[in-house]
Structure 1
Amino acid sequence: MSGRDPERRRALLDAADRVIRREGPEASMAAIAAEAGVTKPILYRHFGDKSGLYQALAGRHVRSVVGLLRPEFDRAGADLRGRARSAVTAYLDMISANLNLYRFLFHRAGAEDSRTHSQMTAVVRGLGEEIGRVIAAESDDLDPVRAQVLGHAFVGMVQATGDWWLEHPEVDRTEVVEGLVSVIVAAMSVTPASAARPR
């Protein structure tokens, strides 16, 4: 069945990427199909439906984000602040360089329907879990549950702040990065026991 041909599927996703980067978050399914040289029904056949296409695009790019952030947060010999700074800088650089694609995936796709919203929520949750695993692997004395809490918190915080920053290009990126890094370092430096200690 053609829908299971990984090379064909990759070519269709490449076409979708090109159209979204060129036309922005309002890129139509018709334009994506035309770019790929197929009709919309054939495009949907490969992914099940429009939501399936969104999910496939999101999965592709979330893997890229994780692949980008993991080595930055996992730098041998770098202190926590340096690793966090590298990871946050890489993320902000990535979304600003791929603005149309980012807005398509994280704004339009989530607004299309409840199913797509649920799928995108699952994608973001998966990223939080991955970052939590990176944190746990890098911190021998950190409880795995706390690592997951921090992973999800960091993903949500950086994503929300990144959204805000994209709407305020007048704000210096360095100021945004340092603000986020300070929160991350503070959160990872507080143990559950010290956080619960009465003042």
Structure 2
Amino acid sequence: MAVGAGRDPERRRALLEAADRVIRREGPAASMAAIAAEAGISKPILYRHFGDKGGLYRALAERHTRALIEVLRGEFSRDAPIGSRARATVDAYLATISADPNLYRFLVHRAGAQGSAAHGAMSTMIRDVGRELAEMLVAEGESVDPTRAHVWGHAIVGMVRTAGDWWLDHDREVPRADVVDGLVELILGGLPAAASGPTRPGRGAR
């Protein structure tokens, strides 16, 4: 039987909520002991529900990446011009990570570094968003090659995520709207140029 199978889902959710509170309060360095204390249980009981530290990390990653991807999917799949959707999606992403920066850093940096399963959950989320964006570009483009669309989709997701990481360290001096403007300008400015066709290297170039 898998770890946690058959256990009370309400209890499991309560433990994850306790973990969220500790991580938001203490940051990415939050310990398992602190999480267990917040939940009013011992570490062995916490491990019994999740198997080990990696199991807890995976559960947290799945819980939050699923919520984030639903937010992003809702923004870029709505009926609106692509510019409006790009702006709303980028803004929603930045708003989400800035609302819980400690939780975001825990999931992306600590959990990703220490738990391969949690890292896998984050990677799956990134791939899913990149794939859905690529499919949207193919559906809306007049002659967008599917391979190129997937390159664009995953590149855009990586760019927005990296810029978001930087902005979390500078959000007091850099308004979110400025970051959104810069990213959307780059995305919407780059796609038409890329759609015109690749630049071929000169003869002999490597």
| Range into which the TM-score falls when normalised by the shorter chain | 0.7 to 0.9
Distance 1:157 1:33, change over 3 A: same
Q: Which has the larger radius of gyration?
A: 2
Which of 163, 171, 181 is the equivalent residue of 1:178?
181
How many residue pairs are counted as aligned between the two chains?
194
SS in 1 for 2:122: helix
- Are the structure 2 counterparts of residues 188 and 127 from structure 1 closer, same or farther at C-alpha, using a change threshold of 3 Å? farther
Amino acid at match of 1:126: T
Q: Which moved more, 1:170-179 or 1:60-69?
A: 170-179
| Structure 2 contact 58–118 (Cα < 8 Å) conserved | yes
- The superposition leaves residues 14-68 of structure 1 with CA deviations (integer Å, 9 ceiling, x where unpaired) of 1111111122222111111112222111111211210111111011111111011
Task: Report which stretch shifted further, 27-36 or 127-136.
Answer: 127-136
Relative to structure 2, which stretch is displaced further, 157-166 or 19-28? 19-28
Distance 1:154 1:127, change over 3 A: farther
User: Matches of residues 90-105 of structure 1 in structure 2 within 5 Å?
Assistant: 90-105=92-107
Structure 2 partner of 1:50: 53
| Structure-2 residue corresponding to 1:129 | 127
- The percent of aligned pairs where both chains have the same amino acid is 58
Q: Does residue 71 of structure 1 match 2:74?
A: yes
Q: CA RMSD in A?
A: 2.3
| TM-score of the superposed pair, with normalisation by structure 2 | 0.83
Q: CA deviation at 1:192?
A: 6.2
The question of 1:30 aligning with 2:36 is answered no
Unaligned runs of 5+ in 1: none
Mapped to 1, the partners of 2:22 and 2:41 lie a distance apart of 14
Unaligned runs of 5+ in 2: none
CA distance in 1, matches of 2:19, 2:146: 38
Deviations 1:85-141 (A, max 9, x none): 101111111111111111111122234x3xx1x334423331232223322443324
Residue equivalent to 1:160: 162
Residues 131-183 of structure 1 show CA distances to partners (whole Å, capped at 9, x for unaligned) of 23322443324444334333322222111111111111201222211111122
Q: Which amino acid aligns with 1:167?
A: D
The corresponding residue for 2:18 is 15
Whether the 8 Å contact between 1:19 and 1:31 is mirrored in structure 2 is yes
* Partner AA of 2:126 in structure 1: G
Looking at structure 2, the residues matched to 178 and 53 of structure 1 have their Cα atoms a distance apart, in angstroms, of 37
2:89 to 74, 87, 97: 87
SS in 1 for 2:170: coil
Opposite residue 133 of structure 1, the aligned amino acid is R
